[in-house]
Amino acid sequence: MMDGMGMGNFGFGMGAFGWIFMLLILGLIIFGVFALIKWVFMSSGKTGTTSKNDALKILEERYARGEIDQEEFEQKKRDIEK
C-alpha cells in the first residue's frame, strides 16, 4: 500500500538502499567541511620564516652530501635570506 512517497523508502525513490546513499552523501559533506577547515588552518599557520628555515635546511643537506660546493652554497644562502 506504499505509493513511493511513504516512509518505506524515505521519499528518495531509491528503495531499501536510499538511506545508505543519504548517509554516504552526508558523510562526504562532513568530511569535506573538516578537510576545508584543516587546509585553511594549515595554510594560514605556515609563515615565511618557516619556509626559509626549510629551504636553508635542504641547502645545508645538499652541501653536506657534496652536491654543491661552498661558493654555490654561500650564493644560494644569500638568495634565501633576502
Chain position carrying cell 528503495 = 15
Asked if 59 contacts 73 with a C-beta cutoff of 8 angstroms, the reply is yes
Q: What is the pLDDT of residue 67?
A: 92
* Residue 67: φ, ψ to 5°: -70, -30
Confidence label for 1 from pLDDT (cuts 50, 70 and 90): very low
Distance CA 64, CA 28 (A): 46
In the predicted structure, residue 48 carries a pLDDT above the cut 60: no
pTM: 0.41
In the predicted structure, residue 52 carries a pLDDT above the cut 60: yes
Chain position carrying cell 500500500 = 1
